[in-house]
């Protein structure tokens, strides 16, 4: 609705007020965005698993830092 500037949510933290305005999108666009998020989550999980395997392959454990993001 054009000209409707009421926030969808308002949060107050001390002297700070945060107004949240949700995007007005179609169900089709929402599904498209949700699918993109799901794909990114899967890529991140796979990437994290590869990093952890590399750390294990290099013989690193939680007390030894290999410099990778997994450690």
Tokens of 4: 């409707």
In 1-71, the DSSP E strands lie at: 9-13, 16-20
| CA–CA dist 38, 29 (Å, integer) | 14
| CA–CA dist 21, 32 (Å, integer) | 20
Q: Residue 51's CB: how many other CB atoms inside 10 A?
A: 15
Residue recorded with tokens 């796979």: 46
- Would you write out the chain's pLDDT as a tens digit for each of its 71 residues? 556 689 999 999 999 999 999 888 999 999 999 999 999 999 999 999 888 888 877 775 555 555 555 55
pTM of the entire predicted model = 0.51
pLDDT confidence of residue 71 = 53
């Amino acid at each position: 609705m054009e000209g409707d500037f009421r926030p969808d949510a308002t949060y107050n933290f001390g002297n700070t007020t945060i107004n949240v305005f949700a995007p007005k999108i179609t169900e089709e666009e929402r599904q498209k965005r949700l699918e993109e998020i799901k794909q990114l989550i899967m890529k991140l999980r796979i990437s994290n698993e590869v990093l952890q395997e590399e750390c294990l392959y290099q013989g690193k454990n939680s007390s030894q830092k290999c410099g990778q993001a997994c450690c």
